[in-house]
Amino acid sequence: MDTTRLFSLEGRSALVTGGSRGIGRMISEGFLAQGARVYISARKADACDQTAKELSAFGHCVSLPADVSTLEGTHALVAAYAAHERTLDILVNNAGAAWGAPYDEFPESGWDKVVDLNLKSPFFLTQALTPMLKAAATDHLAKVINIASIDGISVNPQETYSYAASKAGLIHLTRRMALRLARDRIVVSAIAPGAFASSMNKEARDHGDEIKGRIPAGRIGEPEDMAAAAIYLASRAGDYVMGSTLVVDGGVTHAR
């Protein structure tokens, strides 16, 4: 048993949606450190380009701006990626949105925006990229990692109805997709993050010292925590983890 290569991503290509900031950036930097060629996508082109420029200090990183909340944007991203690579080893469906509003006032726009990006997009982007994932799955397995949330597992006090529903749906969708894509040597799994500093989780970003008392680990998540989870699932080390969701939350879901 040679364990020295278990976590290597040397020579593999990865596409990370929502890769310009937060969890997507953490994962992208981790993949680069393990030798992968990383392509990041985000809706805001300037931010995506700037992050790719910064991450290029660690390896091959290319910006592919796109809005994957629509099928048109999804297909545009696939075409942009195909201009660089013929196959895809790792897809990380990380792009996401949240919306909070009181139950009596929650708008349809807040439902559709969140569910389209958090739940519909991972399915149709994976579907469109399946031929490239299959082409990569030769001497190793191709990987799809969906970024869910602990809010899809346990309920928090915030009135983020469409977000919680979309992340719970993504966890179950991960199971269903895993069963179908296993025959094509594509492994589908998910990560459910807890409190990590990001533009979406401003509480963790701006009030980490206040909320860490509610986290059994005594701190919010650090970039290395997220990178390690994604590297595990993306590499040979995670080949036998199919359809499962890895909870990375410092124990919060057990304390709620």
Structure tokens at 199: 């533009």
For residue 47, the SS3 value is helix
For residue 186, the SS3 value is strand
Structure tokens at 182: 């296993």
Q: Which of 39, 163, 232, 240 is catalytic?
A: 163
DSSP state of 66: -
Q: Is 240 tagged catalytic? A: no
How far apart are alpha carbons 27 and 185 in whole angstroms? 22
Phi, psi for 191 (deg, rounded to 5): -125, 135
Cβ atoms of 48 and 63 closer than 8 Å: yes
The tokens 């149709």 sit on which residue?
Answer: 124
Residue environment code for 191-225, b if the CB has 16+ CB neighbours within 10 A, otherwise e: bbbbbbbbebbeebeeebeebeeebeeeebbebeb
How far apart are alpha carbons 73 and 70 in whole angstroms? 5
DSSP state of 214: G
- Those residues whose C-beta lies under 8 Å from the C-beta of residue 114, and which sit 6 or more positions away, are 97, 98, 99, 162, 163, 166
Catalytic residues: 163
